Structure 1
């Protein structure tokens, strides 16, 4: 069954959770740095995907979409600044906690609203576009 935009983003959230856990539990500093680099790269790609696919859908389909996108973008910017400051260092527990909270807000507040407002065929189309973009990265 094809995955819609929300399904794809939630799957990415679960992957990020797994990558964060890898970084948090790596047995050596070298493995921790390597796992952290993978997690931060995946986080940056995920944020870019949300900005490219999710944010325009929110603007188009939700009455408060522009305000939600402004809030989301501010969170993405803050997370990106924090991530840039920790590359190659210790596992950033506060950063991971902020990302986990952001993902929870999306899954419990934003995604359900978008799912109700946006036609399912459009969500499927956006999901396919996102998956296609991932293949070319």
Structure 2
């Protein structure tokens, strides 16, 4: 039986996967073909799922356990909202359009800054404030939330509990159906 990862391990793994995709995209900059569009879609899918899970479970835990957690969580949610707006713009673009690559580069910059802040500040503070059992329980919740989360940016959707926990699974189902019909995110 596999050992359950704690929330920080789960989220750092996601960060590394997205960074790997960013690296691949950087080698494609200026390209106009379908591989760039498909990889951009995969990045957005992963970022949306990751962000939703953080908003449902990570940030409420930060508010509850970390000194100054309300301010920290609010800052992280604001960064998510900005990146989500960028993802929404990117979703409407094709690689042959003038704004595609600058928008992708903006998204990469936003996410890289956000990841640095989380890994250098938020995660160490959370690890100090929570027990290993709490972190492991959160890891399971985050992994489950990612399975049900939307795969497309929804900037107008609520980003704090309880509304986000109620609406995200339904939006996720609709997104996954749309993705299956359109082939979005598949090579």
Q: Considering the TM-score relative to the shorter chain, is it more than 0.5?
A: yes
User: Structure 1, residues 18-68: CA drift from partner, whole Å, max 9, x if none?
Assistant: 122233324652110111011111111111011011101101101211111
Other-structure match for 1:108: 120
Match of 1:76 in 2: 80
**Runs (5+) with no aligned partner, structure 1:** none
> 1:103-129 CA distances to partner (integer Å, 9 max, x unpaired)?
011000110000000111100111122
- The yes-or-no answer on 1:123 pairing with 2:125 is no
Which residue is 2:67 aligned to?
63
Aligned twin of 1:16: 18
8 A contact 1:25–1:32 mirrored in 2: no
- Distance between the aligned counterparts of 2:106 and 2:27, measured in 1? 15
2:97 corresponds to 1:85: no
Report the Cα offset of residue 136 of structure 1: 5.3
Instruction: Give the match for residue 152 of structure 2.
Output: none
Q: So what's the TM-score if we normalise by structure 1?
A: 0.91
What residue number does 2:45 align with? 41
Counterparts of 1:27-38 in structure 2, within 5 Å, are 29-38=33-42
The separation in 2 between residues aligned to 1:67 and 1:96, in whole angstroms, is: 24
Counterpart-to-counterpart distance in 2, 1:36 and 1:57: 30
Q: Is the CA contact 2:54–2:142 (under 8 Å) kept in the aligned structure 1? A: no
Unaligned residue ranges in structure 2 (runs of 5+): 95-99, 150-187
In structure 2, distance between residues paired with 1:133 and 1:4: 14
Evaluate the alpha carbon distance shift between residue 136 and residue 80 of structure 1 in structure 2; reply closer, same or farther with a 3 A threshold: closer
Give the corresponding residue for 1:3: 5
Partner of 1:25: 27
TM-score with structure 2 length normalisation?
0.68
Q: Which has the larger radius of gyration?
A: 2
Aligned residues: 137
